[in-house]
Structure 1
Amino acid sequence: MSNELKERYEVVVNSINSKMLEVGRKDEIKLVAVSKTFPVDVIKNAYEIGVRIFGENYAQELRDKSKILKDYDIEWHFIGRIQLNKLKYIVPIAELIHSVTRLEEIKEINKLSTKFNKVQKVLVQVNLSGETTKAGLRSEEVEDFIKKAYEFENVKIIGLMTMAPFTNDVEAIRRVFRSAKFLKEKLLKKFPEIKELSMGMSNDYLIAIEEGATILRIGSKIFGERNGRLK
């Protein structure tokens, strides 16, 4: 498994570097290895080959894995849908929460961050494809949301997260990513902390690099296909 994992990881890293060179980008892109549903041993193998940032979708899975791997120098990201009653498992652990969509979440994150004596970094999830199956704010809602979130001292919004439409239409994917970059640049003029743009997964991360992603969330291209959620 670890040899296959190493090969897949190297292919992804090399393709990221090649694409950045091709499009003339000299900034840094953060690669989040999406380890949801994969067991701890797989994460250990990934750590051994150099992966340091892991993304989890389920709060209790994040809690349990981080506890087992407490001696590893891992940066954990939470990338799944937020349930208010599960934030108590996320805030003590996550370096970055990618998927904030409601002020109720900001309030609860702030309360927990104060308790754990930290300032929680978060991204605002935006829905730019218009798909009703996807969570996220509409582009015209984001500025007001950020203004209201500024009232909470222990939460720091540092960027946006979005997901591409579920389609093979490259131009449709590109339009969403381009819209996200445009929105980020527009917000950056008023909010200097809005620097990160989390977009691009296993099937579309190269397009995301072309369109300005600063954080990629890649799972199956690194770990292989999933067999379903762990029990």
Structure 2
Amino acid sequence: MIAENISEIKKRIWEVCKKVGRNPEEITIVAVTKTVPVDKIKEAINAGIYDIGENKVQELLEKRNSIENVRWHFVGHLQTNKVKYIVDFVYLIHSVDSLKLALEIEKRAKKINRIIDILIEVNTSGEKTKYGVKPEEAIELVRQISERCEFVRIKGLMTVAAYLPNPEDVRPMFRLLKQLKEEIEKFNFKNVEMKHLSMGMSNDYLIAIEEGATIVRIGTAIFGPRNQKVK
């Protein structure tokens, strides 16, 4: 079932890319594996998934011991005191939304002489329950990180759109993120390459791709409803 789900997702991505004139190879599927058991994750890997996203540091560390040859993405809210546990291996941190967090990543990365790629999380929905820098403060945060960090590279932006019954209604949130990306690109900040827009989840990833997403974070559409505990 997981392999079939992935095949269907890839087919839909190919179709929407053809519709809007994009190359499907530009799109990275990050399988979000919160509460998903290791055996199910391995099924997804066998079906051609190479990028795995986790929301919790502890769960990521536990799974990492059992899963090889993947790129680990951290997609949840990252506390500064947890940075040290993932900085030596994580491929991309999607959820940096403060200078304090960026400076902690910088400190830990410098200690091990490793460049860490991050995305800036932007709260495009305005929901108080969501993390992310306010859109109007995003450029200033990028500037500060660029000026103060040598071992942190900003590779783009991320957002978690509002969960709405009609996916079309989230389109403005994705457009806002893309507009911010284009504005930031004009500044030519040091160590900043606006390569990625991480936006779109199981219910709205096709809309996100139409609006410029390069990374989609998909959990339920691959693994089904989250009703299992990690084993």
TM norm structure 1: 0.93
Identity percentage of aligned residues: 47
Match of 2:63 in 1: 65
Name the amino acid aligned to 1:224: G
Aligned equivalent of 1:42, options 40, 43, 54: 40
Aligned equivalent of 1:55, options 50, 53, 56: 53
Name the amino acid aligned to 1:135: Y
Counterparts of 1:132-143 in structure 2, within 5 Å, are 132-143=128-139
Give distance in 2, aligned partners of 1:14 and 1:143: 35
Superposed CA RMSD: 1.4
Match of 1:104 in 2: 100
Judge which range, 47-56 or 185-194, deviates more.
185-194
Deviation by residue 1:159-217 (Cα, 9 ceiling, x = unmatched): 00011112124443001111111111111121361121000000000000111101100
Give the 4+ runs in structure 1 shifted more than 2 A.
Answer: 169-172, 228-231
Name the amino acid aligned to 1:120: I
Please state if 1:144 is matched with 2:133: no
Deviation by residue 1:47-92 (Cα, 9 ceiling, x = unmatched): 11111100000001111211222xx210000000111111112212
Conserved 8 A contact 1:29-1:215? yes
Please state if 1:12 is matched with 2:9: yes
Match of 2:214 in 1: 214
Judge which range, 54-63 or 184-193, deviates more.
184-193
Give distance in 2, aligned partners of 1:32 and 1:170: 19
Q: What is the aligned residue count?
A: 226
Shift of 1:116: 2.4
Judge which range, 82-91 or 55-64, deviates more.
82-91
Deviation by residue 1:110-160 (Cα, 9 ceiling, x = unmatched): 111112221100000001111111111111111111111011101011100
Match of 1:230 in 2: 230
Aligned equivalent of 1:160, options 157, 169, 184: 157
TM norm structure 2: 0.93
Structure 2 unmatched runs, 5+: none
Give distance in 2, aligned partners of 1:170 and 1:206: 9
Give distance in 2, aligned partners of 1:140 and 1:166: 22
Counterparts of 1:184-195 in structure 2, within 5 Å, are 184-191=181-188, 193-195=193-195
Conserved 8 A contact 1:66-1:93? no
Please state if 1:183 is matched with 2:180: yes
